[in-house]
Structure 1
Amino acid sequence: MTKAGSADLPLHYGRVPTWLAERMARLGRAVTETVVMDYGTAGFLQRLSDPFWFQSLGCVMGMDWHSSGITTSVMGALKRAINPLSGELGLHVCGGRGKYSRQTPDELRLLGDKTGLDGERLTTASRLTAKVDNTAIQDGFQLYLHNFIVARTGEWAVVQQGMNTGIRTARRYHWHSPTLRSFVEEPHTAIYGPNRGPILNLTAAGAAPTRDAILSVALTGLPPAELSRAAHEAALRANPAAPREAATAHMLPHLTMPAHHDVRSKDIDIKRLGAVLALAHEKQPMNFESLLLLEGVGPRTLQALTLVSEVIHGTPSRFSDPARFSFAHGGKDGHPFPVPLDVYDETLHQLERAVTRAKLGRDDSARAIKALSTISATLEKDWIEQDRVQEWIGHERATSYLHGGMTVTGPARLPPQLQLF
């Protein structure tokens, strides 16, 4: 059982603007196609079930780096991107937010009819994952989003999210079928949300006696009021420490996504980011074949491509600081800086070109992009750590107008010294 961790997700509201949603879908498609070509559908589902990778993908897409909105927007973008190519990719995304989550069973049955997969078995899995996270784990978060992603092999992953309006926080849950031993005993690859102290977690391994005690009482046919009291007493007799203290013994490591909107030094692995910026902006020896193959790519696009390359090809340990990936395409709320649309479009052009050439058996561009993450990691070993995060952010904001910078409030403004009025 892989324990991937948990994190705070501050609740954000609002819609993703069309100019970003369209680009997110294109980037999601290019990333998915590349991962599937290089690592198969199993590799894609494994990444999707890693909450740190998922958050990093949302950051590189230009979403608000720490918000709950990443879940909704990333899954929406992937559904729009993947489903039209499901026959080619061998992947299909079902469900969504609100009313779309309730359509998941119908979508899975229809998918089963088209592909020969066992639609009823998949529907049962979908319902059980939702039931567990809404009922068996009573942590104060009410589910409002459920996405079921299935491969032609029958392997699947679930990404679902609940909200707690009282503390203005969301919690994201990740499931992955290859790691699943039981729906009722520690089934998750990760629970992505805040540690708010002891919770009622009937899926904890230590809560097995409690589950059995509650089931035995439930079969007695007592009226609801008496049943609740009797079940509680039986649970305490079965294990005085369960189910609440059992949950704390199985707490996952968690990454806390802070409430502050601005990206700060403490949110980033400075050494990793510094190596990326050094590769993109400082004069490098031109014996790097990858840089020569990426003809016509400017420094700013190279910065974005390197971070996208790491999302596609990086190992799990590289995603412990998702905020770093917001230095690819900024964020729609202007943090750490406005989304540079010209850079985003050039990134898309390079990735889509690489995918097309790879399908034709010409994988030189794909290999060049893949190598960027390796080169960056190599430079990182010798990069002297310097906390220049605010300087880097200041430079991005000052030059944002040169790259078509955009936020939800409109185009990036000229620096004060260049404003005429």
Structure 2
Amino acid sequence: MRTGYADLPLHGGRAPRWLFSRMSRLARSIVELVIFEYGTAGLLERVSDPGWFQALGCVLGFDWHSSGLTTTTCGAIKDGIKGVEEDLGLFVAGGKGATSRRTPDEIATWGERTGIEADPLVYASRTSAKVDSAAVQDGYQIYHHSFLFDREGRWAVIQQGMDEDTGMARRYHWLSTKLDDFVCEPHVAVCCDARAPSLNLVARESEPAREATSELSRAT
């Protein structure tokens, strides 16, 4: 289930090294505490909430109203738990730009190391990215994709797209434990001030269009 999305001003650049180092250390401590109290399922549920994730980025010390909060917070979590993933039972794949395209390989590598069945996770990663980049045509091009998962096969996706014309970025959140269908109403909440016409092929009302699209693809 996509659990919501948020719009943020699109900013370039990167976090200073000294700040990112501190964010990573703090992210590790917070992740460890949340998992200790609520388990990996509780951690995945929380990062899939747009408001909780935004608050986490602020607590870590990043600008509250910037597209960089998404990429930097995900990067800080991934970097912060490096070396203790198997102890925590939490794994992070993907990231920004070219790193996002390595997500399937990173998932597969963790599968080989831990015995976690990787194929369903790779499918979830690719399909969630495809839905938000193709099935939901809202003008935002996906450039960041982080995939968090645990030993039980639960997962959360945090991905972000950019609209260079408006100078805005949009973040999308997914959570496996509330997922019924990838292509029919996959989200439970929409958190957004900016509104614009869009083509939403995952809306329930779009079912005839989805069926027609499938028939046309099979015919060709």
Q: Give TM-score scaled by structure 2 length.
A: 0.95
Report the secondary structure of 1:172's partner residue: strand
Report the secondary structure of 1:126's partner residue: helix
> Counterparts of 2:74 and 2:109 in 1: how far apart (Å)?
20
Structure with the larger strand share: 2
Counterparts of 1:53-64 in structure 2 under 5 Å?
A: 53-64=52-63
Q: Which residue of 2 aligns with 1:268?
A: none
Deviation of 1:196 after TM superposition, in Å, equals 2.2
Report the secondary structure of 1:157's partner residue: strand
Q: How many residues matched? A: 220
Do 2:4 and 2:172's aligned partners in 1 also have CA atoms closer than 8 Å? Answer: no
Distance 1:157 1:211, change over 3 A: same
Aligned-residue RMSD, C-alpha:
1.5
> Counterparts of 1:182 and 1:219 in 2: how far apart (Å)?
21
Q: Which residue of 2 aligns with 1:107?
A: 106
> Counterparts of 1:33 and 1:156 in 2: how far apart (Å)?
17
The runs of at least 4 aligned residues of structure 1 exceeding 2 Å deviation read 3-8, 188-198, 217-221
Which letter maps to 2:202? T
Q: Which residue of 2 aligns with 1:203?
A: 202
Larger relative contact order (C-alpha < 8 A, sep ≥ 6)? 2
Q: Which residue of 2 aligns with 1:156?
A: 155
Report the secondary structure of 2:72's partner residue: helix
Report the secondary structure of 2:143's partner residue: strand
> Counterparts of 1:211 and 1:133 in 2: how far apart (Å)?
15
Do 1:49 and 1:157's aligned partners in 2 also have CA atoms closer than 8 Å? Answer: yes
Structure 2 unaligned blocks of 5 or more: none
> Counterparts of 1:150 and 1:4 in 2: how far apart (Å)?
16
Do 1:83 and 1:93's aligned partners in 2 also have CA atoms closer than 8 Å? Answer: no
Higher-Rg member (1/2): 1
Percent identity among equivalent residues? 52
Q: Which residue of 2 aligns with 1:218?
A: 217
Distance 1:6 1:127, change over 3 A: closer
> Counterparts of 2:101 and 2:19 in 1: how far apart (Å)?
26
Q: Which residue of 2 aligns with 1:127?
A: 126
Which letter maps to 2:45? Q
Q: Give TM-score scaled by structure 1 length.
A: 0.51
> Counterparts of 2:108 and 2:184 in 1: how far apart (Å)?
27
Deviation of 1:7 after TM superposition, in Å, equals 3.2
Which letter maps to 1:217? L
Counterparts of 1:333-412 in structure 2 under 5 Å?
A: none
Deviation of 1:15 after TM superposition, in Å, equals 1.4
Q: Which residue of 1 aligns with 2:74?
A: 75
Deviation of 1:197 after TM superposition, in Å, equals 2.6
Counterparts of 1:19-418 in structure 2 under 5 Å?
A: 19-190=18-189, 193-221=192-220
> Counterparts of 1:6 and 1:142 in 2: how far apart (Å)?
14
> Counterparts of 1:147 and 1:190 in 2: how far apart (Å)?
19
Do 1:7 and 1:193's aligned partners in 2 also have CA atoms closer than 8 Å? Answer: yes
Do 1:75 and 1:147's aligned partners in 2 also have CA atoms closer than 8 Å? Answer: yes
> Counterparts of 2:153 and 2:47 in 1: how far apart (Å)?
16
